[in-house]
Chains A and B, each alone.
Chain A
Amino acid sequence: MERPSPKLKRKAYFAGKVKRAAHLLLYRRHQKPGAKGWELRKSLGSDYPKVLKILDNYLENLDLQVKTIFEEGTPAEKPSVEDLDKARFYVTLREGVTPKETKLIGWRIDDIAGLAMAISFIISKKGKAPKEEVENLLRDKLPGWRVDVNLGRYIRYGYLAEDEGGQLYLDWRTRAEVDQKTLINLLLTTETKEAQASDSNVNHQNLY
């Protein structure tokens, strides 16, 4: 019988590892989803970054991606082995969710609007804001009774964290799921409907 070529052997070797990596990242085994770098190293071997890259390429077809969240922020240069070992790896959506799909994942429009407001407000306050201020802001858009319920939900899911002094912080899930820079840029560059309407009025007046 003909022996398999080294190329085929290598392919089979990585195929097995990619499957195992997918299981490790997709099935929740701890309190938090995903897996730490050292866990992947233990299970997949030292070439786990390469395995994750192959998995990421494969997941692209499904609009998914392997996301790396470093413990102390994304390093400026190429991450070291230690940085990768300490990092947590998740599978997230690649392109994001469309407004229609939000209902499928069990989120009401109010919940997402509240989350967006809380996160962007905390970012603008250098990552820490008093709970009272966040509550006041949310009361502007949500019914009073929902504010407390929603904040509790964001904290429970890991989007926000609260300390003993009543300060709210961004927690692990926000760091993993939300592109903070994009969110702030979008908020600052988007014109409100009111502003657009007043602009179009000015243009109409100019025409006459």
Chain B
Amino acid sequence: MLSQRKVKKLGRERLQRVIELCRSVEERGLDPFIVDVDDIIAVVREYFPGWELPEELCLDAEAIHELSSVIKLQSDWVKHRSTSLYTDPFLLEEKIRRLGKEELVELFLEAWNPIVEMEQVSPQSLAQAIQYWQSLMPLNERWRKTSFLEREIGAVTREEMIKQRLFAEKAFSEELEAFWEELKQKVGREGKIRYWDFIGAESYMETVRRAYMTSFLVTYGYATLEIRPLEEEIFIKPFEKPESLLGKKQVMSIPLPVGVEEWKKWRGQVQS
């Protein structure tokens, strides 16, 4: 008698084959009726009680999913056959091959009603073009080579570089750590804070900067997001220690819009 392990291995292989068969039918446009649905259901049913691990259950679900796609193709096939548009492809292909070019064209013209459209300069587009032309710099100015000012070599201080935004005042990691500390202080006993209450600031620019920093807090495992879709609320929760989730959990990206409108709305709520 086959051991439990061998049975499982065999089952996994059979499910894998089922998935591949269904996919090839779908992708290559093969006849969906080459798949015997009852047979596959029997295979899935036979091995299902033995599945324990999440990977095994996922494989089982995938097989069912692929099978359902094939059943949909079968249903579409039946629907198409029952419509007046159905014709035997071989018969039609033969007909197309035997008809002469002129005959084909004559037939097609009876079923063809080309779209009528106009492409013409309108007064508005003409006005736009004139405006564009007038604002255009002359060619000799546009093509003029960039000239450089010759200056003596000198030294620049760190403060000047920061002023010119070539250097950040703090290293990014330092800034992130400080931001994390700020988050931990703001959450209080609850251990979490509303996303907008944390990133929201007096100016829109500062709000965007805070949203940018927050995204790094979450990505680098300093904090996490709690999303409540029904209440349409998002909270941010700091961790006590940075936790790298990469490779441990399934990581996903969550786009959060930080537009001027959202910011104004938040400001209005805060002020009221």
Interface residues of A (CB under 8 A from B): 26-28, 33-34, 64-65, 67, 90-99, 102, 105, 109-110, 112-113, 115-117, 119-121, 123-126, 128-130, 137, 140-141, 165, 167, 173, 176-184, 186-188, 190, 192-195
Contacts and interface: CB of A to CB of B under 8 A. Distances in A.
B115 A34 contact: yes
Between B76, B85, B115, B118, the greatest number of chain A beta carbons within 10 A of the residue's beta carbon is seen for B115
B111 A186 contact: yes
Nearest to A105: B114
B173 interface: no
Interface string B113-131: 1111111101000000000
A186 B118 contact: no
Given A126-B76, A167-B29, A181-B84, A186 B107 contact: yes
A102 B109 contact: yes
B99 A96 contact: no
A208 B91 CA distance: 34
B106 interface: yes
Contacts of A179: 111-113
A165 B24 CA distance: 12
Chain B interface size, as a band, is: 35 or more
B140 to A, nearest CB: 36
Interface of B: 27, 29, 76-77, 80, 84-85, 87-89, 91-93, 95-120, 122
Chief secondary structure at chain B's binding surface: helix
A65 B102 CA distance: 27
| The 5 residue pairs across chains A and B that have the minimum distance between CB atoms | A116-B108, A183-B111, A33-B117, A124-B92, A92-B113
Given A90-B116, A188-B91, 12 more contacts: A28-B117, A28-B118, A34-B117, A91-B115, A99-B102, A109-B105, A112-B105, A112-B108, A116-B105, A116-B108, A117-B96, A180-B111
A77 to B, nearest CB: 18
